[in-house]
Structure 1
């Protein structure tokens, strides 16, 4: 690397971010989408060194384009997930529970159980219960935590 290029690299490392982005856009002819200082500096350093030493040969560029054309890499970023519509929940509503009107499903002993969430409790098999624990007790016949039984509020 020439002394002139080394001097340019030292100057680049001392530039404020705004000027570094401006230099990037001048050298690459495209808008800088990153705001990572280290990334921008490295790309500019590579470009200055490549310009100083002649860059890649034509044969290497053709081969790289051929390999890139055959690659299975994603060219575009994945689509953003659509925001889900948030249903209004009553005041003091437990965050582990879905909003009223939703159905909690759980398979237990080969049978799919459907529990409807109400504003004042839960409905299972035509009967109303005040808590998930009461529903779990009615299903299993023994005491167990309703949130654990229905796997609610657990991180995945």
Structure 2
């Protein structure tokens, strides 16, 4: 028996997953293509021929990513702006000029440590870990590891600017 859906439910499904089934089918179809067909698909999707050195797996992943971007949306404009600036200057930009990623209120940070996944929710002035409030990420990192750690470093929020600048 099929379930009937109201017009509002159909509209909501279209907004949330509009085209997600078609995207899944298109990505599944990519897996069956050979390299020459993938090169043609690449040219159609990106508007240019792929490098002759690109392997099949990378082409499938890049095309699949573009399909998902089309359906679910791409990067936030602020992230795209940072990437454009870094690409335009190609190493001329100093690491301190690249904004550090900051965890704003509501951000959930997940870190796996010794096989256990730890989840921290960032609030305005503190963080919550396992139902308990901590003043800083460093306190949480210490509770997890038993040693002093930089919380932002432990959760991957620090040190990325240098990696981006190096390329």
TM norm structure 2:
0.41
Rg comparison, structure with higher value: 1
**Larger RCO: Structure 1 or Structure 2 (Cα < 8 Å, ≥ 6 residues apart)?**
2
TM norm structure 1:
0.43
Structure (1/2) with the larger helix percentage: 2
